[in-house]
Structure 1
Amino acid sequence: MEIQNVLVSPSTTQDVIDQLSLTGKKVSYTLAIPKKDTHKWVNTKVKFYGETWQTVGYPIEGIEELIPLDWNKKVMVERYG
């Protein structure tokens, strides 16, 4: 299933260090998920840039009404396979 309006950005150095320390997984990208999205983002495989990725941890979610833009969740991914 394709999800529209997902932003993809490289994970920050601090995010990479934190996730490596906490989970032993090396995250590469952070996805910004649109408001109102109801998909499952825990231990989920996603595809972009012609590669398959696995989500790491739980999405971080902000209070939708307090965030002015279109996204209120972020989830980190590591390369799968």
Structure 2
Amino acid sequence: MGRIKGITVTLIGKTKNGRDDFGHPIYENTEIQVDNVLVVPASTEDVTNQLNLTGKKVAYTLGIPKGDKNEWKDREVRFFGRKWRTIGIPLEGIEEMMPLAWNKKVMVEAYE
């Protein structure tokens, strides 16, 4: 039996890069490579629930590895040669209580 292994995805983070003339923060996009992310097709139930709640169609659910401190809420993600957008707040479990290498999950929709 083989080990479960995720793929590397590119998370587009935002870095504060000064202020504009009105005092509002200016952000710059930065690419963050995140290794060992599980990518799983969304279940029919997840697709239906998110479509009813938010009007967004979920395509995949991402399993985020333990120890990851990146912000995943409302972010652009790139994998499989496409752009995706995260939906909602990631669900997070207690690291010590999760048996495998992942403790967060977040859903994504197609974004282009």
Higher relative contact order (CA 8 A, sep 6+): 1
Pairwise CA distance, 1:58: 0.5
Gaps of 5+ in 2: 1-31
Runs of 4+, deviation exceeding 2 Å: none
Counterpart check, 1:63 vs 2:94: yes
TM-score in terms of structure 1 length: 0.98
CA distance in 1, matches of 2:94, 2:48: 26
Percent of pairs identical after alignment? 58
TM-score in terms of structure 2 length: 0.71
Work out which of the two has the higher radius of gyration on C-alpha atoms and give 1 or 2. Answer: 2
More helix by share: 1
CA distance in 2, matches of 1:66, 1:3: 22
More strand by share: 2
How many residues align structurally?
A: 81
Pairwise CA RMSD of aligned residues?
Answer: 0.5
